[in-house]
Amino acid sequence: MLVRQLGLLATAGLRGAGRSGLDAARAAKPFFARVTKRTGPTAGEDVPARSAQLPDQPATRGGWLSRLRRRPILAIGLAALALPALLLGFTVLQAFATLPPLGGVVPEGGQRAITVEADDGRPFATRGAYRGERLTAADMPPHLAQAITAIEDRRFYSHWGIDLRGLARAVYRNVTGGGVREGGSTITQQYARLTSLTQEKTLRRKIQEALLALRLESTMTKQEILLGYLNTAYFGAGAYGVDAAARRYFGHGAKALSLSESAMLAGLVRAPSQLAPTRNFGGAKERADLVLQAMVETGAITQAQSDKTRAEKLTLRTPPETPPGANYFIDMVAGDAKKLAGDAGDVTLRTTLNIDLQSAAQAALARKLDAEGEKKKVGQGALIAMSKDGAILAMVGGRDYEDSQFNRAIQAKRQAGSLFKLFVYLAAYQRGYTPETVLVDRPTQIGEWEPQNSNNRFRGALPLRSAFALSVNTIAAQLGDEIGIASVIEAARKLGVQSDLPNVPSLALGSADVSLMEMTRAYAGVLTGAPPVDAFAIHTIKGSAPKPLYLHEAKPAGAALSRDVQSMMLDSMEAVVEGGTGKAARLPGTPIGGKTGTSQDYRDAWFVGVTSDMVVGVWVGNDDNAPMKGVTGGDIPARVFHDFVQRAQVILKGKKRPAPSAAKAERAPAGEISTSPVSSDLRGVPEVIDTGTLAIRGRTVKLAGIVGERGALAQQLARYLRRREVACAPEGASGAMRCRLDGDDLASLILTAGGAKATEDAPQDLLEAEDQARSERAGLWGRERY
């Protein structure tokens, strides 16, 4: 009837265009007449005739309309009450008409969760969204249900989906508190929202949430609703469902949750991103204490139990923050895992990465680029280290992952330059040439192509061993022409190069675009003598079942190199390091072979080197292909190789890296620095000039192996050293000193905290201390580029 009369009012308004609103209202008289008729005199009641009315009494016309005209304030008040009621009624009808089905929305979780472990089983990274196992009634700890209902919905077992008392309480507290401090949604409403509605904050969605809650209560038991909610809710840090959260934060399933752990998880659902203990442990602990108090108030536990639980130490079992440089490797294995195991739910990857070698690789490359990159116009670099069997031990895909996620170690294709000569000489040795075969370095023309040496000079007759060591272009071009470029391509293919290789004479000098991964694999094939080497990064993939989803198995090797050919090629590679273009890679007492490569106009510089058990490839250049300032493969790449391998030898001998939480730096091995007591030349309480320079008793002391920093870092060091005595002794002939504080080397303490940079010629223990600070982004490395 109301809708009908509203239509009559609208029709009257249209008919009375130009008349007043009162006239339009009068046009709807049938409605008011009907009301008057219904409320008129009863049968038998005398009705005074209109003519009998008193002269001074005005006639009453229009019933309610007349009264409303005489009382405009009342009319306005009624309209003010009626309009919101009409709008609310319309919204309810609209919400009901568009009500979605139960379970029509699957909560977004992104990619499945991946936990990444190093080669020794240490977890060091996580990716994706954790789903865990669905919790059943038999698996749910009683205190978990008590904790979640105490903090989220105390009347859960007594209301019918909507808690009017709780809603009124929330409204009161929000009004008196000056903001939204408490929600009025029940667990049933929250479950309805998670599984059937979007997260938009509108009145229509809130009404639909209430309607769906009523439907849930009529079709499901309280226990089913609670279990569904716990299996669906988001608990922060990529964990969807309580079992996933338990595994993410505490390292075990939900059925093994303790009271303190249950309280913490129950406290997260209100603000999971803000309270996730991985980023805000203090806030999560405070919220857990509120949950325990709520459980006391509801009678779930006693005050004594609450106090005892609060006093317990709650330990998170989560991987540490991912070392920034390792993200290139993680991106690669995440893609590999999907190919190898499909969408198998949450998985754990045991990878080939050695965390300590990874830190050393990042530091070796970063240190050279920081020191010389700007001067020599070098913007980027990449490094791959792999074992003889192809296991990737370390990978650096660029200078700074946060700036660019492009992995230059495996995705970039660049001209290899003389690095490609490996395939020319290998094919030649397979055709009967030997390292003693003599060719003449002279002007050479092949068709219209005239290759030139980098120094524009000619050396005359040279054995191939020397020609390879000195990277003579004309002899490599002659060899390629004599044996045929097709033979060179065939040799490259057998060693695992898959990039496009054009059959042109200039291919002998590396005119094709290849990746660092391809070239590193190829040199590994020479080292093993059984190409192609299958580079791999994952040992095993495990899901929730005991049986692995994937287990790496070595692929059958191809045609092995003959021992003579392999021996000749390795001998030529050693000549490069002994007295050729790769001398900067030489390490005393360590047999090393390798090859340098430099593309035209110094746009790319490479060095790939081999030791008895490892292959390391290094590339530097610029993403925009801009020329560098005279950088060759024997320059920065060979020196990065040298620094990395030197420190890798110490790491692989079993030297352990200091724990990140250690308060003191690891003591240096005996013989590297003097051990306490020190026969010192100077002792006293220092004043800090910068983090590498002190003033002790009027004498300036420069700490050996450190490039000091001023500003805030120097102030922090001054506060740390306040009124504490150090003992210093000379280090070498440079005049610099090594100082000790309470028996610990001060320079090592400063570098471990990220308070300074190490010099290029710093002792091994100081370089390792800097590596640790870099990987943990401590101190200055938190703001420096990687």
Answer yes or no: is pLDDT of 357 > 50.
Answer: yes
**Structure-block tokens of residue 111:** 């990619």
Split at pLDDT 50, 70, 90, the class of 38 is very low
Distance (Å, rounded) from C-alpha 598 to C-alpha 418? 6
Apex 399 CA angle, 396 and 405, nearest 5:
75
Neighbour-count burial for 347-376, b at 16+ CB within 10 Å, e otherwise: bbbbbbbbbbbbbbbbbbbbbbbeebbeeb
CATH architecture of 131-311: Orthogonal Bundle (1.10)
Average pLDDT rounded to a whole number, residues 557-561:
82
- Both structure tokens of 155: 């009347």
- Work out the average pLDDT over 522-550: 92
pLDDT at 321: 64
Q: What is the pLDDT of residue 15?
A: 45
SS3 track for 182-200: CCCCCHHHHHHHHHHCCCC
CB distance 244 to 234 below 8 Å: no
Type of residue found at 255? K
Alpha carbons 508 and 471: distance in angstroms, whole number: 12
Q: How many CB atoms lie within 10 A of CB 716?
A: 17
For the chain, residues classed under CATH 3.40.710.10 are: 363-652
**Which residues, at least 6 apart from 399, have a Cβ–Cβ distance to it below 8 Å?**
365, 366, 369, 379, 380, 381, 785, 786
* CATH 2.40.50.90 segments of the chain: 682-782
* pLDDT attached to residue 44: 47
Q: Work out the average pLDDT over 348-360.
A: 93
Cα–Cα distances in angstroms (integers) from residue 450 to residues 149, 380, 474, in the given order: 83, 31, 9
Residue 659 has pLDDT above 60, yes or no: no
Q: Which of 589, 594, 604, 587 is nearest to 644 (CA)?
A: 587
Examine the pLDDT at 517 and tell me if it is beyond 80: yes
Cβ–Cβ under 8 Å, residues 591 and 612 = yes
Output the 3-class SS for 628-663: CCCCCCCCHHHHHHHHHHHHHHHHHCCCCCCCCCCC
Measure the CA–CA gap between 715 and 689, rounded to whole angstroms: 9
Are residues 208 and 180 in contact, defined by beta-carbon separation less than 8 angstroms?
A: no
Given this model, what pLDDT does residue 198 score?
A: 60
Which structure tokens are listed for 365? 């490359």
Give me the pLDDT at residue 70, please.
66
pLDDT tens by residue, 466-496:
999 999 999 999 999 999 999 999 999 999 9
The one-letter amino acid at 287: R
Query: Residues 6 or more apart from 461 whose CB is under 8 A from it?
Result: 438, 439, 440, 441
pLDDT digits (tens, 9 = 90+) for 132-156: 888 888 888 889 999 999 998 888 8
Backbone angles phi, psi at 105, to 5 degrees: -125, 130
Could you tell me the sign of the dihedral formed by the alpha carbons of 742, 747, 753, 755, in that order?
positive
Q: What percent of the chain has pLDDT over 90?
A: 48
| pLDDT at 26 (0 to 100) | 46
The CATH superfamily assigned to 363-652 is DD-peptidase/beta-lactamase superfamily (3.40.710.10)
Question: Can you give the pLDDT at residue 679?
Answer: 42
**pLDDT at residue 105, as a whole number:** 56
- Tell me the average pLDDT across 283-293: 93
Single-letter code of the amino acid located at 395: M
pLDDT band at 24 (very low <50, low <70, confident <90, very high): very low
pLDDT at 101: 62
pLDDT at 84 over 80: no
User: Is the backbone of residue 707 left (phi > 0), alpha (psi -120 to 50) or beta?
Assistant: beta
Separation in Å, CA 125 to CA 168, 327, 349, 657:
45, 9, 10, 18
Residue 406 Cα distances to 261, 321, 409, 520, angstroms:
40, 21, 9, 19
Cβ atoms of 383 and 607 closer than 8 Å: no
- pLDDT, greater one: 192 or 429: 429
Give the model's confidence band at 329: pLDDT under 50 very low, under 70 low, under 90 confident, else very high: very high
C-alpha distances out from residue 341 to 345, 548, 704, Å:
9, 10, 51
For the CA atoms of 210, 211, 217, 222, the dihedral, rounded to the nearest 10 degrees, stands at -30
Each residue's pLDDT tens digit, 393-427: 999 999 988 889 999 999 999 999 999 999 999 99
- DSSP-assigned beta bridge partners for residue 616: 385, 609
Best CA proximity match to 755, nearest among 768, 746, 764: 746
Instruction: Please state, as a whole number, how many other Cβ atoms lie within 10 Å of the Cβ of residue 609.
Output: 29
Give the Cα separation of 217 and 203 in Å (integer). Answer: 21
Confidence category of residue 785, pLDDT binned at 50, 70, 90: very low
Q: Which has the higher per-residue pLDDT, 608 or 125?
A: 608
Residue with tokens 């003097």: 674
Q: How confident is the model at residue 628 (pLDDT cuts 50, 70, 90)?
A: very high
pLDDT of residue 171: 63
Instruction: Report the interhelical angle of 242-250 vs 259-268 (nearest 10°).
Output: 120
**pLDDT above 50 (res 731):** yes
Average pLDDT, the chain: 82
* Helix ranges restricted to H, 417-535: 421-430, 464-470, 473-483, 485-494, 516-528
CA distances from 131 to 239, 256, 296, 698 (A): 6, 17, 31, 64
Distance of CA 193 to the CA centre of its chain: 29
Three-state SS at 178 = coil
Helical H segments across 241-280, by residue range: 242-250, 259-268, 272-275
With cut-offs at 50, 70 and 90, classify the pLDDT of residue 657. Answer: very low
What residue ranges of the chain are covered by domains with CATH 1.10.3810.10?
Answer: 131-311
Q: Over 50: is that where the pLDDT of 371 sits?
A: yes
**pLDDT attached to residue 211:** 76
d(CA 222, CA 646): 65
State the pLDDT at residue 761: 82
* 682-782 is a CATH 3.30.70.3400 domain: no
Residue 37 — pLDDT band, cuts 50, 70, 90?
very low
554: closest CA among 573, 535, 582? 535
What residues have CB less than 8 Å from 354, skipping those under 6 apart? 118, 119, 120, 393, 394, 651
